[in-house]
Structures are given as structure tokens and as C-alpha cells.
Structure 1
């Protein structure tokens, strides 16, 4: 009965509030700012809460907390890197355990076999492939003990990302904010320009980096544990139970001083609408409500400042409150070409809007800079601002993952923690955190900042008149035009609404619209991949054909190609690449027949391996996402297998292994696989060797033709799906 009662309570707590509409919320009436169902999911008690600035301090505190884990470690991130060094300000570990993340977690479960580690990583866009570890499945799943599981989470609309950065230990201790456990995040609060310890796993140095995380314990940590389990259930189709018993041992890391005690923690989320799940826009509502409650001072740190609706709300409040002033700390610029193009134009627009608003004299948009040992501007280095901090007067303090951009308001998943100070002690603590943040950028202590603000009479006067101390200063952000930026790319990369956006009632009225959008996006993706393919070392079809051309006319060549398909299946080599090569090599229908036989042989061989290994070992190979694939495969026999082939939820070999391990009937599997492969074989046969010419030497006409065939491929696939569904309905 106690377990049943706990399950019922968790189910009740998991119910989502009515989502906030996409239009900006109306101003609050009198009363508390934090309101469940409007701008926060829940407000939970935390015996302790601490604000941790910069990666070195966070990683050191997190390492000490992880060592005390007894039952569960749950980590959700935009990115994870097995090679990152989880070490504190010293740059090394002195606890006798490995320094790198995967090895450290492996050592923890080796010491405590009851400990379970679950990693939830966004199944990221190809645009970020070269900024990340290329083989997280191998690094975190195959090369670690079985108590460590990695799930790649793609349960999001097209183009969206999972942006939450959460660590929960035994549902008793949690961290949330802007810091992922990945490369190029470690830095001390000194931000020394040429710190030799600030190198990534490849040995390359990177610029000074600033970010902020919040630590909480008690019921607030338990609520973040619930948030993680909800996401895991959605991504892996698997319900995780809460810890088996109430944690009595203190998990608070030694040496981490709390900034607040016995405080209420609001948890605010963004979750885009997906499948049957409604959208949640608490993050957006909280931003607007915090602005509307500001009276005297606003302090913000944020990586991206592009949201025009937020800017309009800020300008309106500045006009309403003549005494209100704002400090906005952002990066000087953006690291990559893609970030510059996608976010630079938006920032230029909102800065122009601020400058023309008539209230710019009370706003400072600045970036932090640190000077090295040399002389002049060449010795100075801008500090990369990755933090997401909002502090309103001496009352509201917010730390999270959400940027001041359109994506964070309703497109990506986000998680922010917020405190509404009630009494004098809590308000003093809010100001102390703000002064500590400003002091880090100005080279002053929190006490010196407080005294300087009192003397100057305002935040803006402090920024304008502060003399550089310890080589630190805040510098006005230069205004940029949009001349060097590609038109329209920012509207795709930072959309106001999801690019697929469609309400359920609209879908019912216009069911064709969604298919047309999907086909258009698919065509654009194909064109982009083809162009990238042609100018990269990944043009395998041409290389494979060159290697195999000499044997194409041998009598044993067809059997050899079938063997290549089987071997490639065990190596998880893309079957579509082999089909292209085979059709182009042998030509026309002969190549299609050989490719079809080879693909079927590979599918049956890996199906047999999956049947032999069983679901336990296959799960170890694939991870918890096996549940989603298995559910899709076992829903409706032949139709399910054919659908997964035509609209794949996982690579070809992975589907084969799961089908075998899940016990999908052999006849259903064989017939569904043949049916699912048919559209692709038909299209590739029609194109013949032309497809290789399109890939190796693309022109506008040839790429357009291939994109048209891909659209035809999709239409044929959909038509076959509907035909099979109708036949099954009649049966």
C-alpha cells in the first residue's frame, strides 16, 4: 500500500498544468510572482540552495556530491563528453578516482554495484556533429559497466533540442543551470587568459568561459528527479521508480556554502508540443512576469539576447518606471559561423530597438573582459558568457538553462530555478549573489560592489565609472549591422514558433498541410546533405564503386556483393549507401535485384543474431531506446515492420537486432522488411548510376531532380503504408 500511495502521488504531481498560450501573458495582478500553472511547474522546499559560478567550482562540488551517491545518478544534458575532466579549481583530482567523466562514473559503480547511472543526452542535430564527441554510445554505453545506461533523446519536434542541464543524486541532491558535463566548460572564476589547464580533450586551448549553476536539496531535488523520470519515460518508453527508500544521509557536498536556507524553489519549464503532449511555456511567462515586477534594478546574464517580445516588454517597463535600470551581460560575439549567422542578426535587431527606445540611457549591454600580462588590447580576452541569470531588485533570483531567445520560450526544452525572497535575510542574500556576480566581472569583492553601488547611487553609474581592477572590466557591446549575415537563417534557427507549428484543431481542418511541410523539409534536408556530402570525405558510394568496379563482371560478383551486405550489416554500415553502390555498379534491374537480396540477407542475419542474444544483451548494445523500437515493431506485425523500414526510428541494423530480440514473428518481419525496402529500390533503380554523378558532382538541376525523386520515394512509401493498412482493415 505505501508504494501504491507513492505511485498515485507521483502520477498526480506529474500532471501538467494548462499550457500558457504562445502570445505574451497579460501582466500579473497583485499577489505573488511565482504561480504554479502560469510561470512555474511547482514550488518546492529546499533546506539549502547555493549559486555556483563557473565550471571549476561546479565540477568540484558535483564530483564530491556524486561520490556520496548510493542508489541513483541521473544526468540530463544538451551535450555530454566522456573525456571531460570532472575536477575542481585545482585542475586535478585528489580523491583517488579517475578524472574523466566516463571513467569516474565507472569507478563509482565498481565501488557500489547497487548504484545505477542513467544519462539522457539530446540526440543532436548533424549541425553540431563536429562540436561534440562523435561516439557517445561507445564511450558511455559499450565501454562502461552495465549499471551505466545512455539514452539518446529525440522526443522533440523537428529542429528542436533538449537544452536542460540537470544532475539528480538519489532524489536528494540536484544541480540545474547552464552547465553541461562536456568539453570547453571548465574555467576558474579568475578567467586567466592563458590558463594552461583550460584545454579540451583534444589538447586545444579555448577562451575564458563563464556560466552559473544552482544546487538544491530536499523536496526541490526530488521534484527535479521527477522531471528527469518523466523525460526518461518519454524517450525510452520505460518507467523509472523513485528511490526505494527515503534518503536519510546528507548528500550536500562538503565545502559548498549555502546562499539560502529553508527556501522555496520554483521550477519553470519549456516543453514544446509533441505528439499527444501539450506545450508548456512557463519559462516565457516567468520572464515577462519578472520584468513586470521590476521596480529599481535588473541584472541579467545571458548567452543569447534575440527575443523581440522580451525586449518590447523590457522597454515598456522602463517607460513605466523612470527609476528602473538594467545591466545585461552577454558575450562579445559568438564562437562559430553558425551562431553568428543564426543569433547575431537577432541580437543586432534588439539592440537597435533598445537604442531607439528613448530609455537606452538606463540600459547597459556589456561583455566581460580580462587582461593578460601583456600590454594593450592584444593582451585582453573577452570572456565567453554562457550563463542564464536574472535578478530583479532584491527579490527575484533565477538561474537556469533558458536563453533570452525565441527557441527557449517555446521550442527547446528548458529548466530554470527561481527564488522569490520573502524576508530581509533572503533579500539580503539575493543582493549578495548579484554583487558577487558583478564583482567577478569587475575584479571586486561582493562587499566592494555593494559599497560602490551605494556611493554611485545606481548600477549604471557603477558600470560607467568603475576603474579596471585585477585586469577585469565590463565593456559596451559593439553594435553590428546585418550586412554580412545570411537573410532568413535566423528565423529558421531561432523561430518564434516551431516551424511545423500546428494546433490540433488546425490539423483536423487541413490534414494535408502537415504532410506538405514534412515533404518540403525532407527535400531541403536532402539537398543540404548532398551538397555537404560532395565537399566532404564522406562520398562513400563513389569510393565503393571505384573499389568494386574491377570485379563487377566476374561470375561470382553477385554472391560477393550479398556477402558485403551481410558483413556491412554487422558493422552497422548504412544499407542505403550499399544499395546506391550496387545499383550503380551492376546497373538497372540487375543491380536492384542484387541489392534487394543483399539487404534482405543482411536483415535476416542480424535478426537471427538479435533472436540469439535476447533483449538483455541487445539493450546493452543499443541502450534504453530499445523499448521505443520494440513497441513500434510489435504494434501491428507486417505493417509495423514496413513502416519502421520506410520511416526509420533507428539505423537498419539496430531495427533488425531489436526485432529479433523482441520476438517479432519471422513471417511478419520478412514480409514487412521486403515491403519497406521496395520504395527505395524502385527509386534507386529508376535513377541508376545517375545518383552517383549527382552525389559526386552536384549541379542545381541534378540536385533538384534527386530531391524530386526523394519526394516521390516518400509519397510511394506513404501510399504503400495506407494500402497495407486498408488491406489489414479488410482482413
Structure 2
């Protein structure tokens, strides 16, 4: 399919060669999300989304577009709406399963969330087949087997931004608050190449799912002369037309799949073809082999110049010591023995007229080789992207004058954004004898400008080897020996396995603390507590002592029944229950407050949709639910208090339910507890009768209290319903 002078070699530097009848770059996430929203609303047959992340909370549209849209903006709601509209539509979502490194920023319990939000014709799977240390890094969407989106962007948090990248933006709001400017590049294409992407996404799906996905459409309009398909996003005109392209992959060794390093081979071959200008923008530049190839080509071709745009500052210690420390080495290798004016390794930043600074985060994976080739893909220039992660890059070839002009337009447009210039002005500068020097000089103040990187301000490289082996490895972190003497890479632990392990660890820690307390705190025993309370009887300190014992006992998960019986036995059938219920309410409120703090800190989302459903039922049942739990204690007193705080129930409902559930039994316990004491002191038919009567009364009061709580809750719900109906009327 490609011409004789093409470097595309199937099976070596690419998986397949093909043609895109139409293709357009989508620069920055606002454009990609807008195009994706448009294509999804037009889908009739199938939607495949393969990603590092697929977050159901992401808003695809913003501002007036969102307000005026007929279809939902949030992707979870959009796919549910579309699937309900067309029951014959099939939607397949394949997201990378898990990574401890990204737990804080990824949607917890993603599979369950999607299953709760969407109808049965939306299928969700988590890919857990990637070797330990690697990730599922392909980002592909195929609509109706007629339109494909692919490149560097995920439907994920902290991604959305516009092309002007303002210093401050209320719309750039992530889980940790506002994030800074972020730049990325994707592409949308139609034509024969979509069939190849359709093969890829179905292959990926079948590796983890038992259900066979819907077959490819035979009637899809993918011929070289076909018109724009109906799912094409109408806001974006095609740039490339009938452009030759190749798909290059990285596939690690997993489940007996032979590894593929087409991306690595393709990039090395592309660099060897450069004559005048290589333009690269990439999230990471750490692969020394790429730096060596660039340096070698610069020395072979003295007319060649190189511009690289990446990010300014690292995020966290691992990124600093693995990627920024390695970028120092990359830069040293690249520049060795080459005139400095021919190379610029840069970042893009701005200082506006108010003196506010911002550094643009680069997440794109783009390379242009003169006007010959353009790469838009998912691969970073890192070790892991060449060998360990799953990647897919689309390489466009300038097979016609029009398509060569589009490659130049892509490069000029991106550099115009990073330098705060107009595209035409940038294009003119790049035609000068020294394009790097022309680009770096004369940049305007108060707009985005390119600056030379100086990574030594972030790291002295003293820990780079350790961090690099964990964050940017070439091989799986753990391999398991097999019978035949070879080694099988261990998979990343599944998200469910990690969550279970964390839960077991938390319970083990709690049990350990309780055991330590019981062994190390001498007075934490029933006998010592009884003795301590006994000393306060008849003094002004009786009630404060009981309250303190309940609060401390609650914090240490001491059984509340033991405390209640002890208080009843010591303070009698009247004051015993009164002191006991006051202590229980104060202890409940204290642990409820701790639970509320933990819930607000993010613990609530760890439980996932199932816990959210239980939370909703608890909130709906309200006082009745709490009273029932208190009367029939199916969980420890202190644990119920913590969980209630994490839940959405109000503290007033919780305390009223606690009172109704605990006070009647406490009165009965007062009789029983006092009777037990009298039996030991003076056994007689009267004291035994008191104890038997107290037990019967205990049961009757449990029944009566539950009836009252249910009546109260029903009356409250009827009142709320009547108010709602009146409001609607």
C-alpha cells in the first residue's frame, strides 16, 4: 500500500500499513472531548473505548456547549443515555485494572461504578494481563467501525484544558483541586485504517472478557473514496486526505503473547530519515537509545536541527528521580559533540501581566520528521513505552504535497502554541537557515515562551538508579521461574486483590492494637473497670467517671454490653440505665465524629457502589435502621459508630435511633444487672424473680421500641412526601 520510498516494514517497525481517507489532529483535551461527545451521540452500532483510565465522572463539554447540549455531558451519563436510547447498540469499556501508584487519582471500584450507572448493553472489563511494573497505555476509541480516535489522551481526571492554557482556570478542577495548564494531542481518522484499529480493540477485549464482542461491520464506509462517515465530529474538518499510515505497537510478554517492539524500531528508523528538522513533544524523554540515534543523525547530517518540548517540573519523588534525572542523561547524550545552536530541549511557560506564572504540563506524544512523517501516539520516549507498556502509535506519511503541508501545519501549529506566536509567523521562522535559533529568540513577553530545560535544579541523580528501576523499567519487576527453565512475568496485582489486602491489613492492625491495649493497659479489664466505677458511687464524680469510661472504652472497642451491665450493677436499676445511656450517646457521638472526618478524607469511596447502596438504605431507614442495629447488635458498638460517621446519615437521626435502640434494653439490663448482684449477695426467690422479669421486660421493650421507631420514621416520610407534592403543585 505504501510507496517504494516508504520506511514502513510490516512485522519490523509496524504492525500494519494502511490508509486514512480522512484524518485530523485534535490538539488539547477540550477539542478531543468535544469531538468524542459528538461521535458518541451519533453512534448506531458499537462503541469501543480502550484506555489507561475511563473515568465515569468526566465532563466532555463545558460552558455554553454543556448548557445547550441535548445529550448529557458527563461520559457516564452520556453512555447510559445512548445505550438506553438504542438497545441494539453495544458499548465495550476496557480500562487498565490497577496500580498502587495511581490509587489516589483513579476512580475507585471503576467496574462496579460503570455497571451501576449503565444498562446491560454497556460492558465493562478491567485489564489485569499487563506484567508487573507495566501499564495498559493504549488510548483508542472506535465508533461504528467507521471512526477511530487515538493518541495521548485518556478520559480521566486532570486532563481537560483549552488551547490558550490560561494561568488560572476554574474548569481545570481535579480531585486535589485546580491543576495547571496541560497540553496533549490526539487524532481522529476514517477510512481503511479504522478496520485495523477495530481488530486491535477486539483482540484486546477478548484477552480479558469471556463474552465475544459484536462483529465488525461489513457495510462500514471505509473505502478510499468514501465520504465522511456519519459519526465523524462535524466541528472538525479533515486535514489529511488519503494519507498513507502505519500502526506501530509495543506489546510486552504477557500470557504467552510474543512481545512486540514496533514503536522502538519505528522511531529509530524515522530519526534516520531526518534531514532538516525533527520536532518532538513528549511527556518523558529518558530512553538513551533514542538520544543516541538523534545524536548520531545530527552528526551524519549537518543541516539537521532538533527541537524537543516537554514539561518543566516533576510530580513527586519517583517522577523526579526516575524521569527527570534520566532526562539529564538524555540531554547530555543528545548534545555531545554537536553545535549547541542546533538543539533545543525546552519547556513552555508563561508569566502574565499580573506576574502570575504557569508551566505547561506536556502529556502529548508527537514527532515530526521534516515534512515526511508525523507520529501521533501513546508512546513516551521512555524505557517502559518501548518494552513494557502496551502502546499504539499512528505514523502518517507525507505521500502527497497536500499531506506534506499538513505535517508542516501540525508542527507549526504546535510550536506556535508553545511560543505564543501566530502559526504563519512560526512557519516563516522555521524556514530560516537556523530554525532553532529563530524560534528561541524574539519571543513576546506575557505569552507562552520556550525555555531551555535545567533539570539539575530538581535532582542530583544520587537516587536515580533505584527510582528508575521501579518507575521506568525495561523488564517486568517480578518474573516467576517455570518448569522449562524460562521465566514468566508476574502480573500487576488486581485492584480487588489490593483492596482485600488493604482491608485485611487494616483489620489486622486494629486487632493488634486492641490486643496490645488489653495486654499493656492494666486497668482495661472488666474487674478493674468495675472497681474503678465502684469507687465513684455516691460521689459527685459518678456521672463524669461513667462518661469517661464509655468514651475511652468506645475508642478501644471495649464491649458496650459489659459496660452497661457493670454500670447497672453498681448504680442500680434507676441511675444505672440513665448513666449508661448518657455514656453510650457521648461515646457514639465521639466515634461518629471520627468517622465523619475519615469519610470526608476519602475513605467513603473505598467501599465502592455496594457500600454506597447500603449507605443510601441506612440514610432512608434513618432512625428505624439505627434502632434495629442497636437492639440486635450484629456489629460491635464502636464499629457501628464509625461506619455511621462515614455514611450520609445525620447525627441527630443517629443519636435518636441509638437512644430508642439502647435505652429500653438498658432499663432491662438495670433490673437484670442489679438482680445478678443481689443473687450473689442474697439469693432468694424474689431476686431470681426480678432477674426473670427483667429478661422478659428486656424483650418487650425491644419490641415496643422498634414499633415506635418505625411509626416515627413512617410519619416523617409521609410528611416529607406531602411537602414535596405540595411544592410540585
The reply to whether TM is greater than 0.5 is yes
- Kept in 1: contact 2:92–2:124 (CA 8 A): yes
Select which of 368, 372, 383 maps to 1:395.
372
Q: What CA distance in whole angstroms lies between the structure 1 residues aligned with 2:105 and 2:475?
A: 26
- Kept in 1: contact 2:298–2:305 (CA 8 A): yes
- Residue 476 (structure 2) pairs with residue 498 (structure 1): yes
* Alignment partner, residue 646 of structure 2: none
Structure 1 alignment gaps of length 5 or more: 1-28, 555-580, 582-619, 622-731
- Residue 52 (structure 2) pairs with residue 78 (structure 1): yes
- Residue 271 (structure 2) pairs with residue 298 (structure 1): no
Report how far residue 50 of structure 1 moved.
0.2
Q: What CA distance in whole angstroms lies between the structure 1 residues aligned with 2:290 and 2:42?
A: 41
- Kept in 1: contact 2:383–2:474 (CA 8 A): yes
* Alignment partner, residue 418 of structure 1: 395
Deviation digits for residues 644-665 of structure 1, max 9, x if unmatched?
A: xxxxxxxxxxxxxxxxxxxxxx
Report how far residue 156 of structure 1 moved.
1.8
Q: What CA distance in whole angstroms lies between the structure 2 residues aligned with 1:474 and 1:62?
A: 30
Query: 1:384-533, aligned counterparts within 5 Å?
Result: 384-454=361-431, 456-468=432-444, 471-480=447-456, 481-483=459-461, 485=463, 487-500=465-478, 510=485
Query: 1:106-185, aligned counterparts within 5 Å?
Result: 106-185=80-159
TM norm structure 2: 0.65
Select which of 185, 191, 213 maps to 2:186.
213
Deviation digits for residues 304-359 of structure 1, max 9, x if unmatched?
A: 10001111111111110111000000100222332223212211221222343434
Q: What CA distance in whole angstroms lies between the structure 1 residues aligned with 2:454 and 2:31?
A: 31
Q: What CA distance in whole angstroms lies between the structure 1 residues aligned with 2:252 and 2:465?
A: 26
- Kept in 1: contact 2:14–2:266 (CA 8 A): yes
Deviation digits for residues 596-619 of structure 1, max 9, x if unmatched?
A: xxxxxxxxxxxxxxxxxxxxxxxx
- Residue 198 (structure 2) pairs with residue 225 (structure 1): yes
* Alignment partner, residue 506 of structure 2: 539
Select which of 317, 320, 339 maps to 2:319.
339
- Kept in 2: contact 1:56–1:89 (CA 8 A): no
Q: What CA distance in whole angstroms lies between the structure 2 residues aligned with 1:357 and 1:161?
A: 36
Q: What CA distance in whole angstroms lies between the structure 2 residues aligned with 1:369 and 1:471?
A: 8
* SS state at 1:160 partner: coil
* Alignment partner, residue 247 of structure 2: 267
Q: What CA distance in whole angstroms lies between the structure 1 residues aligned with 2:124 and 2:298?
A: 46
- Kept in 1: contact 2:366–2:376 (CA 8 A): yes
Alignment CA distance shift 1:124-1:542 (3 Å): closer
Alignment CA distance shift 1:186-1:518 (3 Å): closer
- Kept in 1: contact 2:80–2:117 (CA 8 A): no
Query: 1:622-701, aligned counterparts within 5 Å?
Result: none
Query: 1:304-383, aligned counterparts within 5 Å?
Result: 304-375=284-355, 379-383=356-360
Report how far residue 140 of structure 1 moved.
1.0
- Kept in 2: contact 1:34–1:420 (CA 8 A): no
* SS state at 2:173 partner: coil
**Most deviating of 240-249 and 191-200:** 240-249
Report how far residue 74 of structure 1 moved.
0.5
Structure 2 alignment gaps of length 5 or more: 222-228, 519-524, 527-556, 558-608, 611-729
* Alignment partner, residue 63 of structure 1: 37
Q: What CA distance in whole angstroms lies between the structure 2 residues aligned with 1:81 and 1:279?
A: 29
Report how far residue 547 of structure 1 moved.
7.2
* SS state at 1:539 partner: helix
Alignment CA distance shift 1:93-1:300 (3 Å): farther
Alignment CA distance shift 1:240-1:496 (3 Å): same
Report how far residue 241 of structure 1 moved.
3.5
- Kept in 2: contact 1:302–1:388 (CA 8 A): yes
* Alignment partner, residue 586 of structure 1: none
Q: What CA distance in whole angstroms lies between the structure 1 residues aligned with 2:29 and 2:313?
A: 20
Report how far residue 93 of structure 1 moved.
4.8
* SS state at 2:148 partner: strand
Report how far residue 141 of structure 1 moved.
1.5
TM norm structure 1: 0.65
* Alignment partner, residue 220 of structure 2: 247
Number of aligned residue pairs: 509
- Residue 163 (structure 2) pairs with residue 194 (structure 1): no
Q: What CA distance in whole angstroms lies between the structure 2 residues aligned with 1:194 and 1:471?
A: 14
Alignment CA distance shift 1:356-1:66 (3 Å): same
- Kept in 2: contact 1:368–1:474 (CA 8 A): yes
Report how far residue 508 of structure 1 moved.
6.8
Deviation digits for residues 234-257 of structure 1, max 9, x if unmatched?
A: 111443232455135522111201
* SS state at 2:103 partner: helix
Report how far residue 88 of structure 1 moved.
5.6
Q: What CA distance in whole angstroms lies between the structure 2 residues aligned with 1:370 and 1:145?
A: 46
**Most deviating of 227-236 and 131-140:** 131-140
- Kept in 2: contact 1:91–1:197 (CA 8 A): no
Q: What CA distance in whole angstroms lies between the structure 1 residues aligned with 2:354 and 2:462?
A: 32
Select which of 62, 72, 80 maps to 1:98.
72
Alignment CA distance shift 1:85-1:165 (3 Å): same
Report how far residue 197 of structure 1 moved.
1.5
**Most deviating of 77-86 and 475-484:** 475-484
- Kept in 1: contact 2:77–2:117 (CA 8 A): no
* SS state at 1:304 partner: coil
Q: What CA distance in whole angstroms lies between the structure 2 residues aligned with 1:529 and 1:478?
A: 40
Alignment CA distance shift 1:89-1:281 (3 Å): farther
Report how far residue 546 of structure 1 moved.
6.3
**Most deviating of 169-178 and 440-449:** 440-449
